[in-house]
Chains A and B, each alone.
Chain A
């Protein structure tokens, strides 16, 4: 027993040393590394110090506070390139603000789609003493209690992408998911003259953005009684899953006039399936990621047409700056609506970047160098 205990202690010591090294490699840095607190060095979009002084000492979210601030970002997952790029936007903005002395430390956590883990992650960020917590939620409702707990304690909380469904947070960064669905559906309806047989590729069942996009599309399709929906399935915005679904569609239905899709990778898969079975391409709606845009451009000669609403990955930057401004006395809007980009045949070259891989998302505030570094990893 004694030997075993010695063995456990030895293992733990070794582990502790390794952890120490990796903790040093992590995104967080000790406050001592940063310049001293300075109200004169706010973020670009944050309220200037003079304004902060003139502004109220308390906002809807709680008492104001001088920096530097501790910031945490709780990610739903980092399993697809959109979330990785979104996380990189946060890191990029946090590094910039840290160099300016507005932020002292920042942390990111990854729940890997596990709601219980995300609740625990957010509580850990609270325990760490974060002044600001940014959230891309694994569940829009399950995180409500923990977000409200943060808000009651005066922590500035903002959610985006899959946002938390409560008013008791500093701000919600929204991009109109219903409009996303409407745009694609209207394009399809116009392209087939309001009449025809269509198939649908949904994102992930049970996810709020999936339901909003589908609702937006339905509001258009319901106006066209001659549009018949042959089938719909959840492809989870994944190329492989989308390909499997479209393969079954083309086997089952001799006539498909259009495909309405919620994800660029799934539309890219649909194009590949139609080409591989030798069917003429039909109008398909897409999404603003580089892989789909490449497939669109390559097939434009064959008469392929599409429209691609584009969700920005820069939402954490907006959320972070709104929370900092709120802490400095400039109250954040409860909802910040970001404009939804739309890629059409006319402006596709403004978005498509042949130097970046298929997994790159085209609406971003990251520089070309940052993107190249991110996608070279």
Chain B
């Protein structure tokens, strides 16, 4: 009874509903999706399948966190996918498979590439005042071109023990899960509970008002693009471990998929509003839909139609909820 009354207290609390209502709705949808998938295919609810889901979702989670933070400022970064590819290529090119510590320099190399990409995006957007969508479309071409210049076809070698560690388990728990929890706690704390996070949302809400209240808009925007690109670099490094190689054409889908995951996760494209906790559900909804349609055996010609339809359903849930609340 105590638990029930505690739950009632939490879930019926107006503050809780306002703050987490949409996120709870998205998680409820994810849960329902998992139940539906497991009813259709017995292979869905297996540890192996969930591990596969985690490993294949990890790079998109990183890019989606990055995109989510940038969207908080009212911006967008379409070059995140190209940054993933460029850091993936840089990481593999620097790799020394024969040295026991041959993976250290590539990690810093990959992150260094992310840092440079972020600085370039941030400085152009905040100092030259060129809209983010135009800047990052242009830098996408530059980063993709640079990746192809460095490596004109897929290849390279990776430090195998490093790759196996990153994609393997520790105490039967995937290393990727530890990494995900650490990074998630960092970015969510940063965006929800720090003055920096409040400033991000203030810029997204009204940039001029934020500036007039003393928020250092340019500096904060540069930092968020740097942080975003660093997260994209983490995705690139992880992918090199997952693929044992690099591919200069790798990242094309990530930027837009990350926007989709952010929106599905409840982040408003107009800026300021949202929670990265919803983004996690957004990414897993996309991954589970794909996984479920494959396992059910829906023809590949229908799969994208279904993905679109399911996404429309989940995107319309908050609107339906609001309409009901108004009524």
Contact = CB atoms under 8 A, between A and B. Distances in A.
Interface string A201-231: 0001111101100000000000000000000
A139 B252 contact: no
Contact of B246 (A4, A120, A123, A141): A141
Contact of B32 (A8, A75, A205, A210): A8
B59 interface: yes
Interface string A126-138: 0111000000000
Interface residues of B, number: 68
Contact of A22 (B29, B151, B156, B298): B298
Interface stretch (B41-49, B98-106, B201-209, B262-270): B41-49
Interface stretch (A12-20, A46-54, A255-263): A12-20
Contacts of A239: none
B239 A116 contact: yes
B8 to A, nearest CB: 10
Contact of A139 (B53, B249, B302, B317): B249
Interface stretch (B67-75, B135-143, B303-311): B303-311
Contacts of A5: 28
A27 B299 contact: yes
Interface residues of A, number: 57
Contact of B249 (A9, A16, A128, A207): A207
B250 A115 contact: yes
Contact of B294 (A107, A129, A140, A206): A107
A331 interface: no
B295 A124 contact: yes
A145 B243 contact: yes
A1 B11 contact: yes
A125 interface: yes
Contact of A25 (B21, B40, B153, B299): B299
Interface of B: 11-12, 17, 21, 24-25, 28-29, 32-33, 35-36, 39-41, 43, 46, 48-49, 52-53, 56, 59-60, 148, 151-156, 163, 239, 242-250, 252-254, 287, 290-291, 293-304, 306, 309-310, 313, 317, 320-321, 324
Given A20-B40, A128-B297, 20 more contacts: A1-B12, A7-B317, A11-B317, A15-B36, A22-B298, A22-B306, A23-B296, A26-B296, A116-B56, A116-B254, A119-B243, A120-B291, A123-B56, A127-B295, A128-B43, A128-B294, A205-B152, A205-B249, A206-B154, A208-B154
